[in-house]
Amino acid sequence: MTDHPRDDLAAYALGTLDTAEQRMVGAHLDSCATCREELDALEEAAWALAETAAAPAPARLRERIVSRERAPRGRLGALFGGLRAPVPLAIPLALALALIVALVGLGSARRDADTYTRAVAAVVGARLVALSDTGEAPGARGTLVVPVDPGASAPYLILELPSAPAGHAWEAWVVRGDRAIPAGLVEDRAGVLTVALTEAPAAGDQVAVTLERSGGASQPTTRPVLAGRV
Amino acid sequence: MSTPDVVSRDKAAAGLVDVGLIGRIAAGDAEALGELYDRYGRVVFGVLYRMLGSPEVAEEVTQDAFHSVWRQAGSYRPERGAVRTWLLAIGRNAAIDWRRTRGKRTEREAVIDEAAELFEELRVEDRVLASLRAERIRAAVGTLPVEQRQVLALAFWGGLSQSEIAERTGTPLGTVKSRVRLGMTKLRERLAGEAEQA
Ligand SMILES: [Zn+2]
């Protein structure tokens, strides 16, 4: 390990380093818990400076910020039409881990957080694709985990879903062109869970989750609650 | 009365909420962006107002900054700092860019010169709005030696790098660096001491 950049941490927290210096300190932080702890305290001080300037912005600003990114909710033809363009985004593993801990760490058992963190850590090098919440089931979240080495494990979804209504289940689909292939079923469970996909999605495929009758359907009959492109 | 344990647990919980929001934003959830704005919009807008000197410009740049957050959420790295610090850095960079590309040179210089004074000065509307906490932070900054205060102000409000501060004030770079370090370290200690008393 290189020397701790002790002298530069204050300037890093204050945002006054040159780009090159900033990169060097950032790279060091990736692997040094000591400096991260030090930085944490310095960031408190920098944030305190910022707080002295806090001022109410015009009320219209919030709506402007949100509506600029909000997907248009038009009338929908085909079930899978009109979806907000899936964010073609691979979440870095560290963020996915932190996100999973955030999802389960605040309400559920610590044990669950560990389970899912381990599950993701087991496939380091996996590609993670965030699924977009389509607005059909508020609070639904999902991440697709695709191991880089296909022999390592099947691709799977980490999902946070509300309970399916009685007699129903959540079903995962791989959508290839205009064909939807059933890829896994979640019955009788809510909260954060994982489901291994029985069909491996290829590049360009969409992965989606819909609400279906218990036992699953051969074709989706409702609009997806989550969708993302591989 | 709050113990350090409670403080750090609350902080950790707030950090998890923030990371959760960034995850939802990365997944394309615009409402999560609104929630992030609810948590930190006042501070980001206020800092940009200070840096740019105009509420209209600050509003525009704040909007740009949150748009950048929307686009860059997937590249947030928890190891490299807290979400709110990352957000603030995006906002400050947007302000620095705006000044460089759109601001008039004379105004830009005036704003930067003014920055050096900003830790002493309290505008009337601020006085009305300032919370007790903001007063206490200002008091803590006020106890720093004037040369440290000036360097922190030029860096934070002026948006200058350490080498730019050295050039502008005719101070050796090494001296600027040690003033930044000492100023921040002392400020941190004073705020920590202050939190214990509270
Ligand atoms: Zn270190």
pLDDT, tens digit, 9 for 90 and up, residues A85-105: 333 344 455 555 555 555 444
Domain end position, chosen among B69, B103, B137: B103
Average pLDDT, whole number, for chain A? Answer: 75
For the stretch A61-88, pLDDT in tens is 999 999 988 864 332 223 444 344 333 3
| Same structural domain, B113 and B168 | yes
- The answer to whether B162 contacts A18, with C-beta atoms less than 8 Å apart, is yes
Nearest alpha carbon to residue A209 among A183, A173, A184, A159: A173
> What pLDDT, on a 0 to 100 scale, did the predictor assign at position B22?
83
Report the chain A residue with the minimal C-alpha distance to residue B186. Answer: A45
> What pLDDT, on a 0 to 100 scale, did the predictor assign at position A12?
96
Report the chain B residue with the minimal C-alpha distance to residue A25. Answer: B80
What DSSP assignment string belongs to chain B?
---HHHHHHHHHHHHHHHHHHHHHHHTT-HHHHHHHHHHHHHHHHHHHHHHHS-HHHHHHHHHHHHHHHHHHGGG--GGG--HHHHHHHHHHHHHHHHHHHTS-HHHHHHHHHHHTTTTT---HHHHHH--HHHHHHHHHHHTS-HHHHHHHHHHHTT---HHHHHHHHT--HHHHHHHHHHHHHHHHHHHHHHHHH-
Closest CA of chain A from B175, distance in Å: 12
Higher-pLDDT residue of A103 and B152 is B152
Percent of chain B scoring above 70 in pLDDT: 75
| Same structural domain, B98 and B23 | yes
| Same structural domain, B117 and B56 | no
| Same structural domain, B129 and B98 | no
> What pLDDT, on a 0 to 100 scale, did the predictor assign at position A2?
60
Measure CB to CB from residue A106 to each of B16, B28, B33 and give the nearest one.
B16
Higher-pLDDT residue of B6 and B64 is B64
Closest CA of chain A from B145, distance in Å: 16
Report the chain A residue with the minimal C-alpha distance to residue B22. Answer: A99
Measure CB to CB from residue A7 to each of B19, B80, B177 and give the nearest one.
B177
Evaluate whether A47 touches B45 at the Cβ level (below 8 Å): no
Evaluate whether B143 touches B152 at the Cβ level (below 8 Å): no
- The answer to whether A42 contacts B20, with C-beta atoms less than 8 Å apart, is no
What CATH number corresponds to the domain at position B37?
Answer: 1.10.1740.10
Q: Confidence band (pLDDT; 50, 70, 90) for B128? A: low
Higher-pLDDT residue of B92 and B74 is B92
Average pLDDT over residues B91-103: 90
For the stretch A11-57, pLDDT in tens is 999 999 988 999 999 999 988 889 988 998 999 999 999 998 999 99
| Same structural domain, B94 and B14 | yes
| Same structural domain, B130 and B60 | no
Report the number of distinct structural domains present in chain B.
Answer: 2
| Same structural domain, B39 and B115 | no
For the stretch A32-44, pLDDT in tens is 889 988 998 999 9
| Same structural domain, B61 and B94 | yes
| Same structural domain, B3 and B95 | yes
What CATH number corresponds to the domain at position B114?
Answer: 1.10.10.10
Domain end position, chosen among B103, B118, B145: B103
| Same structural domain, B3 and B96 | yes
Instruction: Note down the domain range covering B53.
Output: 1-103
Domain end position, chosen among B82, B103, B124: B103
| Same structural domain, B11 and B99 | yes
| Same structural domain, B93 and B14 | yes
Question: Does B5 score more than 90 pLDDT?
Answer: no
Q: Confidence band (pLDDT; 50, 70, 90) for A229? A: confident
Highest mean pLDDT among A19-33, A193-207, B177-191: B177-191
Global confidence as pTM: 0.65
